[in-house]
Amino acid sequence: MFTTAAVDAGVRLALPDACATEVMTPNPLSLRDDATVKEAVAFLIDHGISGAPVIDRAGCPVGVLSRSDVLVYERERLEHAVPTPQYYDRSDLRTGAGERLPEGFEVEITDSTRAVDLMTPVVFSVGAHTSLHKVVEQMVDLRIHRLFVVDGNGVLIGVVSALDILRRLAPV
């Protein structure tokens, strides 16, 4: 069911004079660069986010993985049919300890593709004191949904999303 809201065509909205740190979400969640596609998808969905920075072993951001990156990957991925091996009888299958496999047991074909293979290999960022107007301008120019906020040392301290900006719009 959809609800509709009446919008007064005469109402104008404006951004307040603010800087990135005033609107950002602090301490953004991040993905390890060695996370599998399945782990990355679960991470994004479980946390209700559309993208996250990808970090290396040292904790440095090396890129950004978004749901769009995953969709492009899924669209372009080739899957080949794997023929069922005919050289064994299911009743012959056993675990490493010699136990028979339970009824309904299936072998999963895993995807070893990593987040680092799908991500956008750049982290678009702004300084902590960048004006909100500059943040919006950069997001529009780059056609992106989020900008990461870094401190004076380049350390990731937050993220400004399109939703964060929409929350700050106020009638004038």
Q: Which of 6, 75, 13, 61 is nearest to 33 (CA)?
A: 61
Whether residue 128 is contained in a domain is answered as yes
| Model confidence pLDDT, tens digit, residues 98-127 | 777 777 766 666 788 999 999 999 999 999
H or E segment to which residue 159 belongs: strand 156-161
Per the structure, the complete domain to which residue 59 belongs is given by 16-80+115-171
Domain count, the chain: 1
The answer to whether residues 150 and 159 touch, using CB atoms and an 8 Å cutoff, is no
Whether residue 102 is contained in a domain is answered as no
Conformational region of residue 154, where left means phi above 0, alpha means psi within -120 to 50, and beta covers everything else: left
pLDDT band at 83 (very low <50, low <70, confident <90, very high): low
DSSP 21: H
| pLDDT computed for residue 4 by the predictor | 53
pTM of the model: 0.72
| pLDDT computed for residue 78 by the predictor | 73
Amino acid identity of residue 17, one-letter, is D
Whether residue 90 is contained in a domain is answered as no
Whether residue 109 is contained in a domain is answered as no
pLDDT band at 57 (very low <50, low <70, confident <90, very high): confident
**What distance in Å separates the CA atoms of residue 112 and residue 133, rounded to the nearest whole number?**
41
CATH number at residue 162: 3.10.580.10
Whether residue 34 is contained in a domain is answered as yes
Question: What is the token pair recorded at 146?
Answer: 């989020």
Whether residue 35 is contained in a domain is answered as yes
Which residues sit opposite 25 in a β-bridge? 159
Whether residue 106 is contained in a domain is answered as no
Whether residue 131 is contained in a domain is answered as yes
Question: What is the token pair recorded at 53?
Answer: 């920075």
| pLDDT computed for residue 111 by the predictor | 82
The average pLDDT across 129-137 equals 95
